[in-house]
Amino acid sequence: MSSYRLYLLISGLGSFASRTAFTLNLIYQATVVGLSPLQLVLVGTLMEAVCFVAQVPTGVIADRYSRRLSVIAGYLLMGAGLLVWGLLPTYAAILVANVIWAVGAVCVDGAEEAWAADEIEPRLVTRAFVRGGQVAQAGSLLGIVAAVALTAVAPALPIVVGAVLTLALGLLLMLLMTENNWRPSPATTGSMRRQVVEGAQAVRHSAVLAAIVGGALFAGMSSEGFDRLSQPFLLPFIGDLPTELVFGGLAVVAALGSIVVTGLAGRWIDVVRPERVGRVLAAVQALTAAGLIGLGFAGHWWAAVGLYLAVRLLRDTATPILNVWLVSATAPGSRATVFSIVSQADALGQVAGGPPAGFVAQRRAIGAGISVAGLFVLPAVALFALATKQSAADPATTKANGPAAAPGTEPEPAQTTVTATEKTR
């Protein structure tokens, strides 16, 4: 199997397994395990804290030892964590499962994208990220349907099935995943320390990367507020309708919308046109901020549901766009580490932004907490716009880092407009 097709398989199957496990996970924790609202928040905080601590070390391992091994180990750990999560319905077990799952997630995060950028043919790199995103969104759509159906059998069954599929993906990658275009340096303590320093220097010496990291931090600050408060906010609008079916249906609509929006965005982005990627991402984040602020003030069913869906699909669309931008702005030797630094900034933002939004929601109203989460996105819009301006002012950056160029060659000129078939994700 070619690296391009394998990346699409990873995107689709990984997303299907994850969405199957997590679509109704909060309902499982609240009704079956019996976690209190505070315990629910602490579970999320622990997960993000582990992600924050583990991001850079796992990124260094991927850059210095093996991206393939990091990805495989990550999926096996995530599968093991989900298995504990679904089979042992206790608060302590869920905390332990979160730690295992989070370490696995950060092993995959960054390493998977860096592996794809190195192993996929240069002319197909951008297409792979965009189309991979669309395949992932399609997998999410099917995972939502599977989660709703499996929950009717047993509340923990979607989590267990997601665990088995994730473990199966890790085992499958052991057979199919190759690493031919990457020659890592020996992984010693000194080399790992130098890799962290090199990644930090890459961010510090690049105005584009520094602004992207700052934007990821503020965008992350809004995540916990939306993720933890949006469903409770919508509950009064649902009435006597089945909660699982309502939220499953909303997730399906959001996934379908994300496929369409990402496909439209894919017409305008390319790794050799980073300023265009930045403009699209800044616009997506601006719309996200407006949607979150408006959602907090929504007083009617259709307004609340419409804004909720808009925010969900915009957030899903932002991830592949950011990946393409990071590939264009990073050198191959430090790419996985820089990806990990950006993800670490996102995790730190979630840890820092969740409590203020929750405090406002508790003292004032849930909608007020969601609107506060929207305000956190505004600095991210400004920082992404700043990075876009810098990218336009320094077009040599992409050529210097050259993620899409083979050694000794120049990147292919990008088309002004790319067909939807070539740029969908």
pLDDT of 294-336, one tens digit each?
998 888 888 888 999 889 888 878 887 888 778 777 776 667 6
pLDDT over threshold 90, residue 245: no
pLDDT over threshold 50, residue 416: no
Q: Does the predicted model carry a pTM greater than 0.75?
A: no
* CA dihedral of residues 342, 343, 349, 351 (deg, nearest 10): -150
Distance separating alpha carbons of residues 217 and 379, to the nearest angstrom: 9
| Angle at 11 (CA atoms; ends 4, 397), nearest 5 degrees | 65
SS3 content of the chain, % helix, strand, coil (to 5): 80, 0, 20
pLDDT over threshold 80, residue 31: no
How much is the average pLDDT of 150-170? 93
Output phi, psi for 395, to 5 deg.
-65, -10
Do residues 425 and 324 lie in contact, with contact meaning Cβ atoms separated by under 8 Å?
no
The predicted structure's pLDDT at residue 124: 80
Domains present along the chain, CATH in parentheses: 3-178+188-405+417-423 (1.20.1250.20)
Q: What's the chain's length in residues?
A: 425
The predicted structure's pLDDT at residue 278: 82
Strands (E), 222-309: none
pLDDT band at 379 (very low <50, low <70, confident <90, very high): very high
Query: Whole-number mean pLDDT of the chain?
Result: 79
- % of residues, the chain, pLDDT over 70: 81
- Taking alpha carbons only, the member of 213, 182, 204 closest to residue 64 is 182
pLDDT tens, position by position, 249-290: 887 787 777 777 767 766 666 555 667 778 888 888 999 999
Distance separating alpha carbons of residues 360 and 371, to the nearest angstrom: 10
The DSSP element (H or E) to which 351 belongs, if any, is helix 335-363
Distance separating alpha carbons of residues 310 and 288, to the nearest angstrom: 8
DSSP-assigned states of every residue in 15-49? HHHHHHHHTTHHHHIIIII---HHHHHHHHHHHHH
pLDDT band at 56 (very low <50, low <70, confident <90, very high): low
The predicted structure's pLDDT at residue 366: 82
Most confident region among 78-82, 119-123, 223-227, 349-353 by mean pLDDT: 78-82
Token match 């909720």: residue? 308
Output the CA torsion sign for 136, 137, 141, 143.
positive
The predicted structure's pLDDT at residue 280: 83
pLDDT over threshold 70, residue 97: yes
Which of 105-119, 225-239, 303-317, 407-421 is the least confident region? Answer: 407-421
pLDDT over threshold 80, residue 130: no
Question: What amino acid is encoded at 27 in this protein?
Answer: I
pLDDT over threshold 70, residue 85: yes
* CA dihedral of residues 278, 261, 59, 390 (deg, nearest 10): 0
Which of 13-22, 201-210, 346-355 is the least confident region? Answer: 201-210
166 versus 418: which is more confidently predicted?
Answer: 166
3-state secondary structure 182-235: CCCCCCCHHHHHHHHHHHHHHHHCCHHHHHHHHHHHHHHHHHHHHHHHHHHHHH
pLDDT over threshold 50, residue 354: yes
The predicted structure's pLDDT at residue 38: 64
208 versus 218: which is more confidently predicted?
Answer: 218
Distances (CA, A) of 183 to 145, 304, 330, 405: 41, 51, 17, 17
Which of 177-191, 226-240, 337-351, 372-386 is the least confident region? Answer: 177-191
The predicted structure's pLDDT at residue 205: 65
Burial of 302 (0-12, 13-18, 19+ CB in 10 A): exposed
The predicted structure's pLDDT at residue 74: 93
Distance separating alpha carbons of residues 295 and 422, to the nearest angstrom: 34
pLDDT over threshold 90, residue 54: no
pLDDT over threshold 70, residue 422: no
pLDDT over threshold 50, residue 421: no
The predicted structure's pLDDT at residue 199: 63
CB atoms within 10 A of CB 260: 15
pLDDT over threshold 60, residue 209: yes
